[in-house]
């Protein structure tokens, strides 16, 4: 499974958006469990600071993870599509 990084940061999203998508430490275990329970998600790490919220994961289909993060944002009334970035590992990089 490829490695994916999805998120928002101080370059891609204004402060108001970053504040609403931040995951406090006391909620991180629950939100990670909800992501890991999605079909095709093998493992995931969540990084949530004042400047960024990123998900690092191994998933068969990155759309599953993107949908999950979009759902999390919509709970705070956010549409993050224009702020979200995605980096995926390619087969060539993994086998080098």
The catalytically annotated residue of 15, 29, 42, 50 is 50
57 classed as catalytic: no
Whole-angstrom CA distances from 14 to 10, 23, 28, 40, 63 are 7, 16, 22, 31, 24
Per DSSP, which regions of 33-72 are E strands? 41-48, 52-59
CA angle 15, 85, 36 (to 5 degrees): 100
Helix (H, G, I), strand (E, B) or coil at 96: coil
Q: Which residues are catalytic?
A: 50
């Amino acid at each position: 499974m490829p490695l994916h990084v999805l998120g928002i940061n101080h370059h891609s999203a204004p402060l108001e958006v970053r504040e609403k998508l931040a995951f406090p430490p006391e909620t991180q275990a629950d939100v990670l469990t909800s992501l890991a329970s999605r079909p095709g998600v093998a493992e995931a790490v969540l990084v949530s600071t004042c400047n960024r919220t990123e998900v690092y994961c191994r998933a068969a289909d990155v759309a599953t993870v993107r949908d999950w993060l979009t759902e999390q944002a919509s709970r705070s009334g956010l549409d993050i599509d224009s702020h979200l970035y995605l980096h995926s590992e390619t087969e060539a990089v993994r086998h080098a």
